[in-house]
Structures are given as C-alpha cells and as structure tokens.
Amino acid sequence: MKCKRIIVFLLTLVMMASVFSVQIFAKNEITILLDGQELLFDVPPQAIDNRIMVPMRKIFESMGAVVEWDGSTQAITAIKGDTIVIMQIDNEVINVSGKDIVLDVPPQAVNSRTLVPARAVAESLNAKVDWDGDTQTVIIKYKTLQSEDNDMKINEIWNIEEKEDFVIEMTQYIAEKCEYGDKMEILNEEQRVLYIIQLLEMEVNNGGFAQFFFNSSGEFANELVSSFEKIGAIKTAEICKKAISVYGDEVPTDRDEREDIISPDDEKEEERIEEILNECDDAFFEYEENLVELNYQFIISNKASFLN
C-alpha cells in the first residue's frame, strides 16, 4: 500500500513538472508584432547567437514585398518598390539596393524555412524595430512609420511655389503611392484623375498614342476623356476621343487584344489607324491648352483630396 502511495506521489510530481515546463516554454515563446498585429509562423521565431531569427518570406510578404527564391544559389530576393534586398543562406553579407550590409548572424535554413535576423529584415525596408525583453516580443513599426513619412513629404510638396514643379512632385507622389498603377484602388477619384492624365502625357510625349495603347497604361484608356474633362481640358479630351475611336466604342483592358486591333493584318486598315493616331499626336503636341495650369488648378480646387 505504501509503495502505491509513493508511485502515485511520483506520478503527480511528474505531471506537475510537465505542466510547469509547458508554462515556462509558453512564456519564453517569441512574439512578432507588425504594426500591432501578431504574425504567425509555421516555423517559430527563435534566438540564435543572441539574435531573433524569423522566417524570411512571411515577414517580407507581410510588409508588402515580393519574394523570390533561387534554389541553385540558395539566394533570396525581396522587392518592395525601389528597394531590392538580396540574401543568401550562410552568407552574412546582404545587399540592400546595391549597398552591402554585414549581419552578425547570416540567414539559415531551419526546417525548410529560411530564417533571418528580424531587425535586419525590417530595417532593410525602413521599418523601426524594438525589443521587449519582458514579454519576449519584437515590435515592428512599418505602415504607421510610412504614413508619418508620407505626411512629411506631402507637406513639403504643398510648400512648392513654382506651379510646374508642384504638379510634377504631386504627380510623382501619387505614382509612388499607387506603386505606379499596381495599386490604383488606394487612390481617391481626384488622385486617379491626375495619375491617368500624367500617364498619358508621359507616354504620348515618349512615343505617341500608339505607345500609350500598347503599354499597360492602355488599361486606363476608357477613363481618358472623362479625366481631361474633369480638369477642364476639353480640347485635349476631344483628341483622346478621336484616338480611342480606332477601337470603336470601348478600348479592351487586355493588352494583347489592344495590340491585335491596333496592328491588324489588313494593310489598309493598319494605315488608316496609323493616320488617325498620327493626327492625334500632332494635335496633342500643339498644346492648345495649358495642361500645367489646368492640373494645378484642379489640385488646388480639390486640396482635401491631395492632403494624404
């Protein structure tokens, strides 16, 4: 009987020890917070040589970067806007937009995942990183930091006195904001109008209306007329309407379809289209309307739409 009591007592101690161990382990888990949201990983973050290492793909993609993996060289490339980050397994040197940076701990392969120093990854995309030792938490501030930077930049733009410089800088700001057309959904109506107008001007000045239709910019062709009308450029809107007429009632959003129509097999039809577009180019280059002034007045009249 005494023996049974000893066995029960020992089993109780083992169970208590197990529970206690689990609790201790839970307290020691490393948490990654990105702009206040916890990131969950299939391979958990861990401390290696006194550095917090995290799965590279998850954290980069959570910050909006595109990640590519080259198995032959074991190299990782992350692209976010103009920033390109290149890392390689077991290589402590990473390249951030052409600049080499030496890490204390190189990227490492753990359970088929590439783990990299959390601070190095976040800071390569201009994020701010803090460490809370009491809660074992890495705190990354990214979107909120970008927002603060944008607020500073937009304030600087509004202080530009030269009209043409003001329009150019505001257009560049809007282009960067929507990642050059890849994220048009984040623009409001007035910002979209400005971006589409400037996109047409750039393409036509470089290669005419044909280039505008051929390139990805042609996706916005059906918004050209209304956009120029909204800034009061009625004559330019008519030129756009004539150029669009080579497609009939509506310009296809598919690039291949646009190319097929504008470059038909029938030579006479191709000559007809070319003649129309050349006429539109010539009319556009005459600049009967002061587009800089019209764009400037449009922005000023809709200031609330261009403050962020």
Highest mean pLDDT among 78-92, 226-240, 262-276: 226-240
Check whether residue 302 and residue 187 sit in a common domain: yes
Check whether residue 181 and residue 298 sit in a common domain: yes
Residue numbers of the domain that contains 57: 31-141
pTM > 0.85: no
Give the Å distances, CA to CA, from 55 to 78, 146, 220: 13, 23, 38
Check whether residue 196 and residue 159 sit in a common domain: yes
Residue 3: inside a domain: no
Highest mean pLDDT among 50-54, 84-88, 194-198, 214-218: 194-198
Residue 20: inside a domain: no
Check whether residue 131 and residue 205 sit in a common domain: no
Residue 241: inside a domain: yes
Confidence class for position 138, pLDDT limits 50, 70, 90: confident
Check whether residue 134 and residue 152 sit in a common domain: no
Domain with residue 62: its CATH number is: 3.30.457.10
Residue 78: inside a domain: yes
Check whether residue 105 and residue 226 sit in a common domain: no
Are the CB atoms for 108 and 48 separated by under 8 Å? yes
Residue from 93, 109, 110 nearest 101 by CA? 93
Check whether residue 61 and residue 151 sit in a common domain: no
Give the count of domains, the chain: 2
Tens digits of residue pLDDT in 85-118: 898 999 988 888 888 888 888 888 888 888 888 8
Helix, strand, coil % in the chain, rounded to nearest 5: 55, 20, 25
Give the mean model confidence (pLDDT) for residues 172-178.
85
